[in-house]
Amino acid sequence: MDDEIRTSEPIPEETPDAELTQDSSAEPSLTTPDEPDAAGEIGKKKKSRKPRKEGKKVSIFFAIFLSLLLCGATFLATYSLLGKRHETETAEWKSRLARFSKMEGMLDGIEKSYARDAEESELLENAYHALFEGLDPYSFYMSSEEYDVFASERSGNYAGIGISVVYDPETGGMYVYRVTPDSPAEEAGMKKGMVITAVGSIGVSEQTYQQAVQAVAGEEGTSVGLTVLSDSETRKISVKRGIIKGKYVWYTKLEGGIGLIEIDDFSSSVVADQFKEAVGELTADGCTGCIFDLRGNPGGDLGVITSVLDSLLPEGTIVNIVSGGKTVRTISSDADQSVDLPMAVIVNGSTASAAELFTADLRDYGLAVIVGEKTYGKGTVQSIFRNADGSAYKLTTSYYTPASGAGYDGAGITPDIIAPLTEDGKKANRFLIPRTSDLQLQSAIAALKDQAESS
């Protein structure tokens, strides 16, 4: 990649030769004025020409000598530049070879002396992963297989059955809190509130929860057997896996006419359209206020979040990209706003990155009240670089700040209204709590009601 973007040092133009060539063309032109007379008027006696002075010959010889001298000087200068460039490139290559020879030596040592079997390809993959472990938590290596999964998730489509689950300590099973519309799970009759107690032969428990979740996933066209608990009855369901059109934005109208929009993340390209659809539907339904729930939202793609914010913000700055202590790029919004209602944003300690930008911008423009707990504090941008073999790596390449220019990387955002999730302040999963018992949601509703009454 470096070789493709490297600009070599330009070789100086040989301007002295070019100038001399132009000057030397003047000498033949000295004879042209006499030629029309000689050819056009035959028999007419030609005017005698004055003999050239010896100084003319000297000047011609001097010009030729000067030309050769300048050519030689230019050649020597160019040769010197090329020589220095060659020496620099040779030193760079020697430095690179020294780095890789160390790795090569260790691989040879493992191959010759290690007491157990070791696959060189696995060793190298581990080395690639380890290369990024010394950087920040957001920079990492992906094998070609890992990158394919990553890219598939970003596209908005993935293979599965279309449910969202969380571990339920009360039942010891997987609580289904969402069923994606038009998914295999919905077609098989699965509904929100069901509890999965087994996936195939794997009984769900706190220890086997992650294993069971992974067992639900699989290739398109294959089936998975689930044991579910619903209305105090246990039954078995077989669900055929398919390609799921990812749904990341969920919305509903609460009692009192307030719209609730829950955004899982901003990673997929379909999020912006789903967000605008949610806002449009709730606005058309006559909602008097709007709550954006970003709890647990880890962030996402810069292009996606700026598209979402562009539909909410007035004309002005959305985000500043900062590199080397300087703003290198500013992304702005136009004057079109899709929401002209009182707004609130609910956040917690897992609200990060792009979700924090959403929160900060609505706060900075005075459009929303922020409710909940202090956010995570991530204000860096990562870029993805592909390798020739299909693998890739994600690397932190810059920082960013919201409209105000006040960064929150490492600091997080403190809400206007600090509220715990539950009355006792104990850790709990919000998907297992009734909305009437969700203190953060209720605080946001109260804040919007206060705004409506005071306006």
Question: Of 128, 51, 114, 131, nearest to 390 (Cα)?
Answer: 128
pLDDT at 305 over 80: yes
Degrees to nearest 5, angle at CA 453 with 450 and 455: 105
Tens of pLDDT, residues 89-146: 677 767 777 777 788 888 888 888 898 888 888 888 888 999 899 899 999 999 999 9
| CA–CA separation, 115 and 78 (whole Å) | 56
What pLDDT, on the 0 to 100 scale, is given for residue 269?
86
**Residue 50: pLDDT above 90?**
no
- pLDDT interval class at 158 (50, 70, 90): confident
Q: What is the pLDDT of residues 172-212, one digit of tens each?
A: 999 999 999 999 999 999 999 999 999 999 999 999 999 99
What are the tokens at 237? 């369901």
The confidence band for 51, taking pLDDT boundaries of 50, 70 and 90, is very low
**What does DSSP say about strands 242-245 and 195-199: parallel, antiparallel, or unpaired?**
unpaired
Q: Is the pLDDT of residue 85 over 80?
A: no
Per-residue pLDDT tens for 9-20?
222 233 222 222
**Between residues 410 and 37, which one has the greater pLDDT?**
410
Q: What is the full DSSP assignment across 241-265?
A: -EEEE---EEEEEPTTSEEEEEE--
* pLDDT at residue 442, as a whole number: 95
Question: Both tokens of residue 125?
Answer: 């993959």
Rg (CA), the chain: 36
Name the residue among 228, 180, 186 with its Cα closest to residue 204.
228
Give the burial string for 352-391 (b: 16+ CB within 10 Å, else e): bbbbbbbbbbbbbbebbbbbbbbbbbbbbbbeeeeeeeeb
Q: How confident is the model at residue 59 (pLDDT cuts 50, 70, 90)?
A: low
Distance CA 408, CA 310 (A): 21
| Residues 394, 386 contacting (CB under 8 angstroms) | no
pLDDT digits (tens, 9 = 90+) for 327-358: 899 999 997 877 888 999 999 999 999 999 99
CA 432 to chain CA mean position, Å = 32
Please state, in angstroms and rounded to a whole number, the distance separating the CA atoms of residues 134 and 260.
41
Residue 268's pLDDT is: 86
pLDDT of residue 324: 87
What is residue 32's predicted lDDT score, i.e. its pLDDT?
29
pLDDT of 45 above 60: no
* Dist. CA 58–CA 65, nearest whole Å: 10
Residue 29 pLDDT greater than 80, yes or no: no
Instruction: Report the distance separating Cα 123 and Cα 139, nearest Å.
Output: 20
The 3-state DSSP class for residue 124 equals: helix
Report the distance separating Cα 160 and Cα 185, nearest Å: 9
Cβ atoms of 159 and 244 closer than 8 Å:
yes
Question: What pLDDT shows up at residue 76?
Answer: 60
Residue 34 is predicted with a pLDDT of 36
With tokens 């909305």, the residue in question is 435
pLDDT at 87: 67
Task: Express each pLDDT in 363-409 by its tens digit.
Answer: 999 999 999 999 999 999 999 999 999 999 999 999 999 999 998 99
DSSP 163-175: EEEEEETTTTEEE
Residues 221-263: tens digit of each pLDDT:
999 999 999 988 999 999 999 988 889 999 999 988 999 999 9
Query: What pLDDT does 340 receive?
Result: 85
What secondary structure does DSSP assign to 389-406, as a single string? TS-EEEEEEEEEE-TT--
pLDDT for 98 equals 72
More confident residue, 21 or 261: 261
Does the pLDDT of residue 72 top 70, yes or no? no
Strand partners, 245: 157
**What domains can you pick out in the chain, each with its CATH number?**
157-245 (2.30.42.10), 249-454 (3.90.226.10)
Contact 197, 234 (CB under 8 A): yes
DSSP characters over 420-436: -SSTT-----GGGS-GG
Under DSSP, the state recorded for 196 is E
